[in-house]
Amino acid sequence: MENKKTPITVQKKPGWAYRLVFAIAKPIAKHKFNLTYTGVKPKGPCLLLSNHTSHPDFLFLGTMALPERVTFLASYHWFTFKHIAPLLNIAGCIPKYQFANDMMSMRRMKSVIDKNDGCVFIAPEGTIYAGGSLGYISPSIGKMIRFFRCPVYASKIEGAGLGNAKWTKRFHRGRVNVDTQLIVTPEEAGKLSVEEILERINKSLSYDDFDFQKRMNVRVKGDDKLEGFDTMYYKCPCCEKEFFIKSYGNTVECTACGAKAELGEDFRFKWKGDKQYFDNYVQWYDWQLEKMKEEVQKPDFCMSEEVEYGIDVPGKNNYVIEGKGRMTLDHTGWLYKGTFKGKEVEEHDDLSEVFLAVLKTGRHFELPFKDGHCRVFYPIENPKRSMKWHLASRAITELNEKK
């Protein structure tokens, strides 16, 4: 939380410990993930961008950039964990409130770039979409680049979603490549329009993990690759019923109609029976999103359900439940009506300010920092519905952008 005692300038940390840790991690990451690098290395002062495909992305980027030290932006939530926060502070990470105007983090980023000649990393998607392709990027990233006027590098991560997707219970060895290129020079940063900058970002970071799989003949072994898959993929491609999807081992099936598929080492589905549906999870994700877009286009679109209200508490390793009520999303925005810390409250968020709900698969969805705390909401009836809230927020944002 920003206050008078919060320092704006980020002190330059001794680099030897950082470089030692990533130097040790580099051969381990290369073996564990079959990791390779192509392109150039970033050199500070600069801004480093990448697509966000899996939880170990920071490891891929930190080892790639050596000997350059990268200052990572990390979700404020992680700084509330009593065992993780000290490590993040030692590493010099900058806390960021997701999908909210956070001027303090902007000032700290500028301090690292201008005063420390440092390299600052930010994932412009803001979260792991886990759809196997580039997610929504806010135009605000273009405005930030024009403000910083420093070199901008883009690292495209390919293959990390194959075996290390957002839903997975453990990492699997496939193949990962990080390709880094300089996409904006300091001179261009002040001259290019926001739209031109966004075009360069999208072009440099767009990826297709299954095109990469085919080109590199990636094989992913393991008998548990679909464990947790049903926390994200809830709509059956056969009967279109929702939340009857069940996944276990390398199998996914619909308990309503019996549609069933096995996942092979090429990370593609082999459907039982004569009819074939999706070849891969990218197609499934895109189909669910398109179905959601059809729903939000209706003037009377409305999602509403009972939720528990949780907030971050420093020193606690998870969110603390502080209320219970009803969350509603429609074309007027987000509305929570219920209790919070023993009082009846109403919290409304405009869609122009809250354009994406981040999710913890199978548990909760999260709205941006507000009134001094991060906000998470746990669907009471079915925690797997958190994915539908996430997709609805993305669909309604993209619809409003078109308008």
Domain range spanning residue 303? 299-402
The verdict on 53 and 143 lying in the same domain is yes
In sequence order, the 6+-apart residues with CB closer than 8 A to the CB of 274 are none
Report the pLDDT value the prediction gives residue 14, as an integer from 0 to 100. Answer: 62
Report the pLDDT value the prediction gives residue 395, as an integer from 0 to 100. Answer: 93
The verdict on 88 and 143 lying in the same domain is yes
The verdict on 291 and 303 lying in the same domain is no
Higher pLDDT, 324 or 96: 324
CA 102 to chain centre: 18
Residue range 10-15: average pLDDT? 58
Residue 272 CA neighbour count, 13 Å, CB half: 10
In sequence order, the 6+-apart residues with CB closer than 8 A to the CB of 395 are 289, 292, 293, 295, 296
Residue type, 283: Q
The verdict on 167 and 42 lying in the same domain is yes
Report the pLDDT value the prediction gives residue 1, as an integer from 0 to 100. Answer: 39
The verdict on 24 and 136 lying in the same domain is yes
* 320/263 Cα distance (integer angstroms): 37
Burial 109-135 (b: 16+ CB within 10 A, else e): bbbbbeebebbbbbbbbbbbbbbbbbb
Q: Which of 251, 272, 295 finishes a domain?
A: 295
% of the chain surpassing 90 pLDDT:
64
Query: Would residue 97 count as lying in a domain?
Result: yes
Residue 227 buriedness (CB in 10 A; 0-12 / 13-18 / 19+) = middle
The whole-chain average pLDDT of the chain stands at: 89
Confidence class for position 101, pLDDT limits 50, 70, 90: low
Residue range 34-40: average pLDDT? 97
Report the pLDDT value the prediction gives residue 13, as an integer from 0 to 100. Answer: 56
Segment 212-270, tens digit of pLDDT: 999 999 999 999 999 999 999 999 999 999 999 999 999 999 999 999 999 999 999 99
Domain count, the chain: 3
Report the pLDDT value the prediction gives residue 85, as an integer from 0 to 100. Answer: 79
Decide if pLDDT at 302 tops 80: yes
Report the pLDDT value the prediction gives residue 211, as an integer from 0 to 100. Answer: 93
Segment 332-349, tens digit of pLDDT: 999 999 999 999 999 999
The verdict on 205 and 82 lying in the same domain is yes
The verdict on 285 and 388 lying in the same domain is no
The verdict on 160 and 267 lying in the same domain is no
Query: Would residue 372 count as lying in a domain?
Result: yes
Helices (H), 39-84: 57-65
Residue range 137-160: average pLDDT? 93
Least confident of 58-72, 163-177, 350-364: 350-364
pTM of the model: 0.85
Q: Which of 172, 188, 216 finishes a domain?
A: 216
Least confident of 187-191, 265-269, 285-289, 356-360: 356-360
The verdict on 312 and 345 lying in the same domain is yes
Query: Would residue 364 count as lying in a domain?
Result: yes
Are 301 and 331 in contact, with CB atoms under 8 Å apart? yes
Higher pLDDT, 344 or 21: 344
The verdict on 197 and 279 lying in the same domain is no
Segment 356-393, tens digit of pLDDT: 788 888 899 988 777 777 899 999 999 999 999 999 99
Query: Would residue 7 count as lying in a domain?
Result: no
Query: Would residue 156 count as lying in a domain?
Result: yes
The verdict on 42 and 81 lying in the same domain is yes
The verdict on 87 and 156 lying in the same domain is yes
